[in-house]
Every structure is written in C-alpha cells, then in structure tokens.
Amino acid sequence: MTALSALLPGPDGRPRCRWCAAAPEFLAYHDTEWGFPVHDDVPLFEKFCLEGFQSGLSWRTILNKRENFRAAFHGFDFHRIARYTERDVRRLLADPGIVRHRGKIASVINNARCAQEMVATEGSLAAFVWRFAPTRTARGPSRTLDVTPESTALAKELKRRGWTFVGPTTVYAFMQAMGLVNDHAEGCVIRPVVERLHRKRRP
C-alpha cells in the first residue's frame, strides 16, 4: 500500500488514514484514541477484552457496543471481574447489549485473574506490555502488517501466563490501538500528534 492510497481527506480537508472513512463512528475513534499511547491498566485490559470479543466480528460492531460492554463488565475493573461467578456468566449471557459468547465471556474472567497475577509480579499491566513496544528506531514508518515479532513475543508470553484469546494478530491490533506502535499512515494528520506523545514518554 502506498502512502497516497492509505490516505483520504477528512471532513476538514486534512488527510487521514483511509480506514477511518469506512464508518461514521470511526473518525472520532481515529482522531482521539487509535494509536494514542495508553499507560493505564484498566483501558489496557479493556482493549484486550474487546479485541477478544471482536474475533470473527467487525470492530464497528464492538465499538458500537463498547458502552454496553463497560456497563456489563463493571468498567473492566479486572479486580472485580476476577471475582465473577457462574451467576455473573448467566447475567452476561442474558445481556442483549453485548456479544453473548460463553467462551469469550469466560476468557475475560480468566484474563482478569491473570491480570491480577501480573500486577502482583510485574507492578502493573502497563509495565509488562510496554516492554514489548519496539524501540523508536525499530518503529519507523507505519506498516500494514497483521503480525510482528513483538506481537508474536507478547502473545507467546501472555499465553504462557494463562491468558486466552491473545493470538499474535489480536495482540498486534491491541498494540496498534494502544499506541505501542504508531501505525497512522505517513501523511495522516494524526500521525505527528501520536509521535509527539511517544517522544514525551520514551527516549
């Protein structure tokens, strides 16, 4: 994909990643969230969960249900989710506002318990996942890959620690969204905004 083909003018006439024109709700997500570095545990955990729910579905479906997911899963407070019982599973399976998939719901609960263990051993979820962010020199220009060595390594370590629904492709989508990489297309008006945020946090 060339830089030109990866861009499309936004409502203000400035170039943006072409994908954000695919649905009306994507523009705000692209301009204010996607690729912006996140260092807080709860939104990081939320994104792992939502990427898992997206498996086999479109991101638009998940994005449109995101507030329902947040309400159903107590704001993705993984300490609270780790205490969920079968009663909670039944409640979630009866909730029409979310994706009612028993395996994915069970995965969220399992991963919440894994996240608790990670905080106990690593200090925070953020401290752990950001270890797998590529260096500034390795990040380079935006890419159109689905898997990278870093996402493969992170997925492997998460699985070793008991996490589920965390394959390399899912993990790379997580890394893109949470700003571990800056994959806004070259020329996208948001790319330099994200890069400045990276420079504030990383040498």
Selecting among 59, 84, 163, 172, the annotated active-site residue is 59
Buried b (16+ CB within 10 A) or exposed e, 123-152: eebbebbbebbbeeeebeebeeeeebebbb
Interatomic CA distance for residues 115 and 43, integer angstroms: 12
Catalytic residue from among 46, 51, 150, 172: 51
Q: How far is CA 81 from the centre of its chain?
A: 18
Contact 112, 45 (CB under 8 A): yes
**Catalytic residue (one of 29, 122, 157, 195):** 29
Cα–Cα distance for residue pair 38/86, rounded to 1 Å: 32
Using CA atoms, how far residue 160 sits from 20, 64, 151, 164, in Å, is 34, 32, 14, 10
Check if 19 is active-site. Answer: no
- Helix (H), strand (E) counts: the chain: 12, 2
What residues act catalytically?
Answer: 29, 51, 59
